Amino acid sequence: MALLETVRDPARLRELTAGELRDLAAEIRAFLIERVSASGGHLGPNLGVVELTIALHTVFDSPRDRLLWDTGHQSYVHKILTGRQAGFDRLRRSGGVSGYPCQEESEHDLVENSHASTALSYADGLARADAHLGRRDRAVVAIIGDGAMTGGMAWEALNNIAGGPDRPLVIVLNDNGRSYAPTVGGLAEHLASLRAGRGPGVFEQLGLSYHGPVDGHDVTAVQDALRHASALGRPVVVHVITAKGKGFEHTESNDLDLGHAVKPMDPLTGKALKSSPPSFTSVFSEKLVELAEQREDLVAITAAMAEPTGLLPLQQRFPGRVIDVGIAEQHAVTMAAGLSLGGVHPVVAIYSTFVNRALDQLLMDVALHRRPVTFVLDRSGVTGDDGPSHNGMWDLSVLQVVPGLRIAAPRDGTRLAELLAEAVAWHEGPTLLRFPKGPAGDDVPAMATFNGLDVLRRSGSLDVLIVAVGALAGLALAVADGVRAQGIGVTVVDPRWVTPVNPAIADLARRHRLAITVEDNSRAGGVGSAIAQTLRDADVHTPLREFGIPRRFLSHGSRAEVLAACGLTAQDVTSAVTELLAGLDAAPAGIDDLDVWPVHTGEER
């Protein structure tokens, strides 16, 4: 990789001949295949933008000229060309480069753009700022994938860009026919007609200049198109055709996602280096198909991610009962409300981090109308390697404010299946399940139930009540073992449905010296905060301590590393509990002993 080793910043590219740039593109592809195969990551999108990124960095002078990537998972080549090659040894791991643009890494990363359909709004604002300040010495360039163009915010931006005064702004439309899966809807059909040279384009009809289509794997052709667009001094769409996964046989031959996001794999065979145990996602997927076979009124909705959210098996079993709306979460949620009004029960499967984008629709279009829509939030809590934008650490804080919304947090695969069945059977309003990325792990059976709570552990005196939320039940049990080893009595319960708060938690807290909550969500406004309010309302004076994620954006790393950085380890929580107990008085007079626990039966559900 002789050429690549000499590239420490984009200026080096402008010293290379056309032939050398072609050789550099081949070296970059080999580098990507080697590094991403070792670490996992977004391989296909970056193999598709190698020549495009080289052309961008030869025509424009970053960071003076501002390059905005939408979405940021196609920015690996940009990172390689801006001096971050060494960081790819630990791609998406602690100490390595992020999988998305990252301001802390480089001045070449202007925005940390990892949620789709936002770059055109950023670009419009930057171009307006330059015009306001009288700056004419730099360009604004937004590189947006055709999948991101299915998002409504992109069209809101285009409407304003086209309707305003002329300002220098280059919009590079990277058209590979896909977001995660093939791009859907009328836009996909329109881009296909533009590729074929049929009819006027919607961009020109809006009043934007249009140049293309251009072969995105021909560096010279892309350079010429970009120079032409930059010279016009007004908003221009440069339509570039690329092939996702280009140059690697194992991504080119994968019709499903063309290597969109790969796990660590053997680069020679394309096979994962190790098999994955059953995940929460796969458990959800299997149970949803079972429920759909029993109920013809069940349909599922995805926002361009049928396979990663577990809807692909349902789509294969019942092709007409999975609706892909593209990257349009707001539309997905309100459409679900409409489906519900029409007598259908929708299951909206979406990543936790993306449900933030549809809060208004969930609140006003679903909950206000008490529609029985079921939301399934994958990647809740700490996801780790995808970095700060993809942690699902806000769903419980944000969504607990929604009146009438019932929220469940299953601790294992069996509970997920049970709670999903309960959710779709609920007719009085919306329901939601949230679970993390990764293995479902071993089942954690309940030893008993108490007024709707699953009792996971009960030993010794009534010193500490631990309320375990979802997948952190394992951590709660480890803490129980730790405090029990010091002679401290402990009770561990799982509420199953965390919102609304079960009043039985207040009954139990009243009988213990200390109560703690453990959750994979922000401590600000999370389940712990809701339980604290419940205790106050019930006039329960037992001290409560909430353990969760601090109110800050979390750096990328493994899930275990990120949780440890948040103090969510058995050792940290056990130490905190023992210190808290040491500062408390003895058990209050008249405390009740829970010497008899109700026996669990299925009917109690």
Q: Is 148 annotated as a binding residue?
A: yes
Q: How far apart are CA 43 and CA 415, in angstroms?
A: 34
In order of 182, 311, 321, the CA distances from 302 in angstroms are 13, 8, 11
Q: Is 331 annotated as a binding residue?
A: no
Q: How far apart are CA 338 and CA 250, in angstroms?
A: 41
Alpha helices in 295-440 (DSSP H): 312-317, 329-341, 352-355, 359-360, 395-399, 413-425
- The answer to whether 7 touches 61, Cβ cutoff 8 Å, is no
Q: Is 329 annotated as a binding residue?
A: yes
Q: Which of 112, 329, 546, 561 is catalytic?
A: 329
Q: Which of 51, 56, 52, 83 is nearest to 67 (CA)?
A: 56
- Note if 244 is an active site residue: yes
Q: What are phi and psi of 475, to 5 degrees?
A: -65, -40
C-alpha angle with apex 151: 146 to 152, nearest 5 degrees? 135
Q: Is 207 annotated as a binding residue?
A: no
- The residues that bridge with 448 in the sheet, in sequence order, are 455
- Note if 329 is an active site residue: yes
Q: Which of 357, 371, 379, 523 is catalytic?
A: 357
Q: How far apart are CA 574 and CA 587, in angstroms?
A: 19
- Which stretches does DSSP call E strand in 12-124? 66-70
Query: Does the bond joining 168 to the residue before it have cis omega, within 30 degrees of 0?
Result: no
Q: How far apart are CA 347 and CA 185, in angstroms?
A: 20
Question: What are the tokens at 206?
Answer: 């809006």
- Residue 190 exposed, middle or buried by CB count within 10 Å (0-12, 13-18, 19+): middle
Q: Is 73 annotated as a binding residue?
A: yes
Q: Which of 29, 167, 244, 371 is catalytic?
A: 244
Q: Is 228 annotated as a binding residue?
A: no
Q: Is 116 annotated as a binding residue?
A: yes
Q: Which of 230, 234, 258 is nearest to 73 (CA)?
A: 258
- The answer to whether 336 touches 301, Cβ cutoff 8 Å, is yes
Q: Is 115 annotated as a binding residue?
A: yes
Q: Is 11 annotated as a binding residue?
A: no
CB atoms within 10 A of CB 253: 11
Alpha helices in 466-526 (DSSP H): 473-484, 504-510
Reduce the DSSP state of residue 230 to 3 states and report it: helix
- Note if 79 is an active site residue: no
- The answer to whether 54 touches 219, Cβ cutoff 8 Å, is yes
Q: Is 105 annotated as a binding residue?
A: no
Alpha helices in 134-246 (DSSP H): 152-163, 186-195, 202-206, 219-232
- The answer to whether 259 touches 43, Cβ cutoff 8 Å, is yes
Q: How far apart are CA 230 and CA 237, in angstroms?
A: 11
CB atoms within 10 A of CB 25: 23
Binding positions for Mg(2+) are 146, 176
Instruction: Give the residue numbers of the binding site.
Output: 73, 114-116, 146-148, 176, 248, 329
Residue ranges at the known binding site for thiamine diphosphate: 73, 114-116, 147-148, 176, 248, 329
Active site residues: 244, 329, 357
